[in-house]
Amino acid sequence: MTQTLQLKINGSDLRLDLDDPRATLLDVLRERLGLTGTKKGCDRGQCGACTVLIDGRRVNACLALALSHDGAQITTIEGLARGEDLHPVQAAFIADDGFQCGFCTPGQIMSAVALIAEAEAGLDPERIREGMSGNLCRCAAYAGITEAVLDATRALALEEERAA
Amino acid sequence: MKPPPFDYQLADSVSQALDLYARSEGDALWLAGGHSIVPSLALRLQAPSLLIDISRLPELMGITLTEEGLRIGALATHAQILSDPLVRTHAPLLSEAAAHVAHPAIRNRATFGGNLVLADPASEFPAVVRCLDAVFDIVGPEGARQVGVEDFFLDLFTTALEPGEILRSVLIPPAPASLRCGFDELARRHGDFAMVGAAVWLVVAEGVTTEARICFHSVGPTPMRATLVEEALRGRPLAADEINAAQAVLGNDLDPADDVTLPGATRLHLARVLLGRILHRLAGQTAMETAA
């Protein structure tokens, strides 16, 4: 039975017909929409490589059955940059060497964007590490990741200050 | 896609959900946050012909304070349990434990009710609600029924919930005056399943423990009450000698089995360390303010 799914992905409204309800949001993003920035790592909610924002909150897309999220607003790594300008979190990951192989990086960045928006960790490295603990990095770039989140937190605060 | 084939239907109301289940002739599973079911389907541990999505049922939502206590809708997410001001005031043990449940992205979607009905013995919330003497509000084809926590967790991944029944909400009775409570756990990495965890709920009047509920997780097939420890504390001052005595009897309450990750004796030792740590912390704490 074909079922219809409406999603707003990175600002665009989409209407999709799904003929198989088994698709996760991760499958839809990668296989149907070609948004392959979001990675499939463990496919069971243990690694965080598939982290996206659903209605502004970070979620593991591999655990999200697509049909259960009808009507949701999704932001993926492809939706962060503003034109040619990288999002401050993306820029900070480059500046601070927050990765080596890069496979976990889109998930790390989406998780970091949400962590900073949650405003729970501030500039405390220990709380940042805890807040990022659902995102594994097998290259162990954790030191650079923590630095990147710290720098991005400062950059976003500065941006907000200037806008005010 | 790895799961066996299934159909999907979104339920608009509890009665429609029950109806869909009846028509599936028992070959359906409820879908809420999906954080246990989606991976278990991908691993082909289960093969229902239908998933009934109950994640949008208003009857299962909300956290409200009533005369009987704090009512927590089964669809409350772990993130809501962690941040909700009513939970923080009226069931602080739950807020404290929620910080240890999984990682932030999981907490945003996984549900409190889903966690409880899965009854994973390594999970935090079952131990905490046993400490809080929670009551489960269940609805099924025969109507609604209430089940006390002492009759809810039956065995490994097994609860009193019958096939076709839905957990609607959980009631946490009002906190008594002079309550002191604490939760802690030991895990190899923050957010991972714990090697052992403990929830402690004490009423301490003028330095003397008058009531005690202590419940461990990851040490047996269900959340495990330490009734002999509770007995050892009751009627005595909450002080160093009494805490030592309580730690000493824990071995009569718990008998964790050896498994691939830890010998049972190590797990018991860790449980004893954790118990001492929480009790000493509570001994140094003045009675918390309760709004009850």
* Distance (Å, whole) CA B17 – CA B50: 12
- The full set of domains in chain A, from first to last, is 3-79 (3.10.20.30), 88-163 (1.10.150.120)
What confidence category does residue B2 fall into, taking pLDDT thresholds of 50, 70 and 90?
confident
Please name the amino acid found at residue B246. A
A31 vs B: CB within 8 A: no
Tell me the shortest Cα–Cα distance from B28 to chain A, in angstroms: 14
Which residue in the set A21, A59, A135 is minimally distant from B109, CB to CB? A59
Task: State pLDDT tens for residues B216-234.
Answer: 999 999 999 999 999 999 9
Q: What is the mean pLDDT of chain A?
A: 96
- Full DSSP string of B118-176: HT-TT-HHHHHHHHTT-EEEEEETTEEEEEEGGGTEEETTEESPPTT-EEEEEEEPPPP
pLDDT of B289 reads: 42
* Distance (Å, whole) CA B119 – CA B117: 5
Tell me the shortest Cα–Cα distance from A85 to chain B, in angstroms: 27
A57 vs B: CB within 8 A: yes
Predicted model pTM: 0.95
Answer whether A111 sits within 8 Å of B34, measured CB to CB: no
For chain B, percent of residues with pLDDT exceeding 90: 94
Chain-centre distance for alpha carbon A155: 18
Q: Which three-class secondary structure state does DSSP give residue B207?
A: coil
Better pLDDT: B220 or A1 = B220
Q: Over range B92-96, report the average pLDDT.
A: 97
B53 vs A: CB within 8 A: yes
B69 vs A: CB within 8 A: no
Number of CB atoms found within 10 A of residue A70's CB: 16
Answer whether A67 sits within 8 Å of B189, measured CB to CB: no
pLDDT of B190 reads: 73
Which helix H or strand E contains B204, and what residues bound it? strand B196-205
* Distance (Å, whole) CA A141 – CA B31: 36
Task: State pLDDT tens for residues B48-89.
Answer: 999 999 999 999 999 999 999 999 999 999 999 999 999 999
Answer whether B103 sits within 8 Å of A134, measured CB to CB: yes
ipTM confidence score: 0.94
Task: State pLDDT tens for residues B170-200.
Answer: 999 999 999 999 999 999 877 778 999 999 9
Which residues fall within 8 angstroms of residue A126, CB to CB, at 6 or more apart? none
Which residues fall within 8 angstroms of residue B230, CB to CB, at 6 or more apart? B212, B213, B214
Which helix H or strand E contains B229, and what residues bound it? helix B227-233
Answer whether A60 sits within 8 Å of B109, measured CB to CB: yes
Which residue in the set B39, B51, B191 is minimally distant from A63, CB to CB? B39
| Domain-wise residue ranges, chain B | 7-53, 59-172, 179-291
**Residue of chain A whose Cα is closest to the Cα of B103:** A134
Could you tell me which of A75, A41, A70 has the C-alpha nearest to residue A57?
A75
CB proximity under 8 Å: B 84-113 to A: 102-106, 108-109
- Best of A2, A6, A54, A60 to substitute, by most chain B Cβ atoms within 10 angstroms, is A60
Answer whether B103 sits within 8 Å of A59, measured CB to CB: no
- Best of B2, B6, B7, B8 to substitute, by most chain A Cβ atoms within 10 angstroms, is B8
Which residue in the set A23, A44, A68 is minimally distant from B53, CB to CB? A68
- Full DSSP string of B45-85: S---SEEEE-TT-GGG--EEEETTEEEEETT-BHHHHHH-H
Task: State pLDDT tens for residues B81-91.
Answer: 999 999 999 99
Chain-centre distance for alpha carbon A87: 12
* Distance (Å, whole) CA A61 – CA B72: 26
Which residues fall within 8 angstroms of residue B252, CB to CB, at 6 or more apart? B228
Pick the CATH number of B7-53 from 3.40.50.11260, 3.30.43.10, 3.30.420.40, 3.20.20.70: 3.30.43.10
Q: Which two tokens stand for residue B143?
A: 């109507």
Pick the CATH number of B179-291 from 3.30.210.10, 3.30.450.20, 3.30.390.50, 3.90.226.10: 3.30.390.50
Secondary structure of chain A as H, E, C letters: CCEEEEEEECCEEEEEEECCCCCEHHHHHHHHCCCCCCCCCCCCCCCCCCEEEECCEEEEHHHCEHHHHCCCEEECHHHCCECCECCHHHHHHHHCCCCCCCCCHHHHHHHHHHHHHHCCCCCCHHHHHHHCCCCCCCCCCHHHHHHHHHHHHHHHHHHHHHHC
Pick the CATH number of B59-172 from 3.30.465.10, 3.40.640.10, 3.40.50.2000, 1.20.58.1000: 3.30.465.10
What confidence category does residue B292 fall into, taking pLDDT thresholds of 50, 70 and 90?
very low
Does residue B26 have a pLDDT over 50? yes
